[in-house]
With several copies, the nearest count.
Chain A
Amino acid sequence: MKQNRKIKQLVISDENDLTFGKAPHPVECGKGLVIGGGQVYPEINFTLPSMTVEEDTWQEVRNQYSTIIEEICQRAVVLETSGIVVEFELLPPMTLNPQWGAEITQILRNTLDNYYEKDGLRSALRVTPVDVRDAERPPRMRNGKFWDKTYRSFELCAEAGADMLSIESTGGKEIHDEALMQGDLAGLIFALGSLGARDMKFLWSHIVDIANKYNVIPAGDTACGFANTAMVLAEKKMIPRVLAAVDRVASVARTLQGHLEGAVGPTKDCAYEGPYLKALCGIPISMEGRSSACAHLSTVGNIAGACCDVWSNESVQNVRLLSANAPVVSLEQLIYDCRLYNTAIEAGNDYSENYRKMLIESDLHLDPQAYVLSPEVVIRIAEKLVKCETPLAMTIQSARETVKIIEQAYNNKELNLNKGDIRWLGLMKTQLETIPEDESQLLENIKSGPLANKFLPEEYGL
């Protein structure tokens, strides 16, 4: 299953082949779902309403998850869905007490099995432990209590019945958070292209081992703590949208490392770097857009779906809406979205191509973060990335190409930018001129700057 340790050419090189429901390397998982094999499946994610997770409330926590999964399966059956992906994202106490995460995994597993036998509902269960290594500052990535808990959580959840394993890993975030707030591209690039990429290699080689041992699928990671933080900050007008767009593409090399270590997809829903990964390694991807508005607002509601293989709501609390509990509402919306994708695929090329173009065109011109998700741009940038020798070089190249392409698009009047964005394009260009591609050089620069004491180089093998 392991991919080549280095990507030499694009698996998808024609932008028209970067489309929804079809991936060159489909993944079969759960009860016979073939992800990327010609259909888009909904991925439903949910979390607790306002309550604590502790001994005293544990029975209620279990009840919450039992009810949610029961109601979800019921609705999926009524709507005659051909299959669903269910994601269980652990909450911190469930990784800190790995047994708890496993208990919930088991509850979900049993219910999914029941509905498969009773109603023929096909499904796959993705389980995502929390990267609790982030609980210390500076974090220890390869030792200590938090690493042990994270590792154990993977093992127990795999044993308890997960079909796929994922994580939102955080290696390098201790630098990225600071750099983002300061608009410091050298810091961002160091966090992603050096620390992040190194930690991804370390972490995913372990996850892949666990997955092999328990015969489950090592699915994928996400730069959520990085580029989605940037997206949310841009949404709140805290940072310029062009910076968030650059950060997004700059996260590709980092997340890619997981796949070089053997993660096979589907990628995590919140990994908007997914289209790049699909082009680079041909893996199926999970994406989220308008139907994840319950989890975060965004400017890429439609275009995010242009080449998805799984379509997610990211997350919603189990609160009662006028119709039903919110997870059921989300599931229903995802199912209707997927009916459209799949109707288009069945109806043939005219339909799916037109629909894909509509998804792209409807968001493309309004935001740079949407622009960099357009398949055409993805292929153009990805072509440049395969030529890079190291993750760090790839990260720098991503940033440079993104700035260039956004500038071109603005000049060609293909993309709306405001004054702040334009000012920042200039600021970023200047910064990018001075960032060294040599990792030890960059490390030295960082070590002599204000971020020096924020991270432990040895935890990244540096």
Chain B
Amino acid sequence: MSIMEELKNAVIKGHLDADAPYPPDMVGQPGVKDLIEKALEEDIELKTILNEGLIGGMNIVGEKFSSGEYFVPEMMISAKAMKGGLNMLEPLLVKEPSQKVGTVIMGTVQGDMHDIGKNLVGMMLEGGGFEVIDLGVDVDPEKFIENAKENPDAIIGMSALLTTTMENMRKTIKLIRSEGLDNKIIIGGAPITKKFADDIGAEGQSNNAGEVVGLVKNLLKSEKQ
């Protein structure tokens, strides 16, 4: 197995480093961190480590999840292992800023405390290599605006689970736009439909955590054109 194959496999299994207790049958074997170290020593390109090793591994995790073989707990463990790897690469990546995939500001809207869906989406995005700024729950429009100003390139993701808070998405988008901010906005949560998203002027919508990475990537692509 090549190092990249090994790295990919360590992400899939969620094995952070040789000392990590999970999965039991890999204890003692090199994990994500160890393999990245080795790869850097062997002068493998950062881009390759990131795209083939980490994101490549996470893509397979995503597939396993979609097919019903993996559940969220497994996915979280892989995401953590991947994040451990990313943390090592980050100081090096800043020197090559074009490598940064993108930033997403995530929050559950005002009045709403449901965050499981939002957290999952955040996790998937991190797994896809995005930086996620999580504003938590019950987030008022001002807080979204503040963060959008600081991150003009970021995509904003809003979640709402209550029929009585989904209207706060409309309000928030209005206020964001009235500040002259043009961040792309995506929304989600059980009661949200495509029609509603169109109605309130959100650029994207999904009811499926698995689709979100693709959705965000497409939005970024269309932005560049």
Contacts and interface: CB of A to CB of B under 8 A. Distances in A.
B164 A238 contact: no
Main secondary structure, interface of B, reads: loop
B89 interface: no
A134 B77 CA distance: 27
Contact of B71 (A48, A49, A238): A238
Contact of B73 (A183, A237, A419): A183
Given A181-B73, A181-B76, A320-B191, A233 B163 contact: no
B68 A317 contact: no
Interface in A68-86: none
B34 to A, nearest CB: 22
B73 A239 contact: yes
B136 interface: yes
Nearest to A50: B163
B76 A182 contact: yes
A69 B172 CA distance: 32
Nearest to B66: A237
Interface stretch (B44-52, B113-121, B179-187): B113-121
A86 to B, nearest CB: 19
Interface residues on A, range: 20 to 34
A237 B71 contact: yes
A53 B164 contact: yes
A233 B114 CA distance: 13
Interface string A37-66: 000000000011111110000000000000
B163 A48 contact: yes
A47 B136 CA distance: 25
A50 B167 contact: yes
Interface string A172-203: 00000100011110000000000000000000
Contact of B69 (A51, A239, A420): A420
Interface in A229-273: 229, 233, 237-240, 243
A135 B110 CA distance: 11
Contact of A50 (B74, B120, B137, B166): B166
A180 to B, nearest CB: 8
B72 interface: yes
Contacts of B60: none
A91 interface: yes
A238 B74 CA distance: 10
B88 to A, nearest CB: 20
B120 A238 contact: yes
B40 interface: no
A143 interface: no
A51 B164 contact: yes
Contact of B111 (A49, A93, A181, A182): A93
A433 to B, nearest CB: 13
B22 to A, nearest CB: 11
B190 interface: yes
Interface string A326-370: 000000000000000000000000000000000000000000000
Nearest to B162: A91
A429 to B, nearest CB: 13
A238 B193 CA distance: 21
B168 interface: yes
B73 A182 contact: yes
Contacts of A135: 113, 138
A233 B116 contact: yes
Interface string B73-90: 110110000000000000
A365 B136 CA distance: 40
Interface residues of B, number: 31
Which of the listed residues A49, A50, A181, A322 has the most CB atoms from chain B within 10 Å of its own CB?
A: A50
A229 to B, nearest CB: 7
Interface string B100-137: 00000000000101011001100000000000000011
Nearest to B192: A320
A92 interface: yes
Most buried by B among A134, A237, A239: A237
A448 interface: no
Contacts of B190: 322-323
A175 to B, nearest CB: 14
Contacts of B71: 183, 237-240, 243, 420, 424
A181 B72 contact: yes
Interface string B186-208: 00001101011000000000000
B164 A52 contact: yes
Given A50-B163, A51-B163, A53-B164, A238 B138 contact: no
A102 to B, nearest CB: 18
Contacts of B137: 137
A453 to B, nearest CB: 14
Nearest to B138: A135
A177 B168 contact: no
A134 B113 contact: yes
A346 to B, nearest CB: 29
Q: Max chain A CB contacts within 10 Å: which of B163, B165, B191?
A: B163
Contact of B164 (A91, A137, A243): A91
Nearest to A421: B71
A181 B119 contact: yes
Contact of B191 (A50, A91, A184, A238): A50
Contacts of B196: 50
B73 A317 contact: no
A411 interface: no
A181 B68 contact: no
Contact of B136 (A53, A137, A181): A137
A239 to B, nearest CB: 5
Interface in A393-429: 418-420, 424
User: Nearest 6 pairs between A and B by C-beta?
Assistant: A183-B73, A52-B167, A238-B72, A50-B163, A239-B71, A91-B164
Interface of A: 47-53, 91-93, 134-135, 137, 177, 181-184, 229, 233, 237-240, 243, 317, 320, 322-323, 418-420, 424
Given A177-B116, A420-B71, 8 more contacts: A49-B195, A50-B164, A50-B166, A50-B167, A52-B165, A137-B137, A183-B74, A239-B72
6 contacts: A51-B164, A51-B167, A93-B111, A137-B136, A182-B76, A240-B71
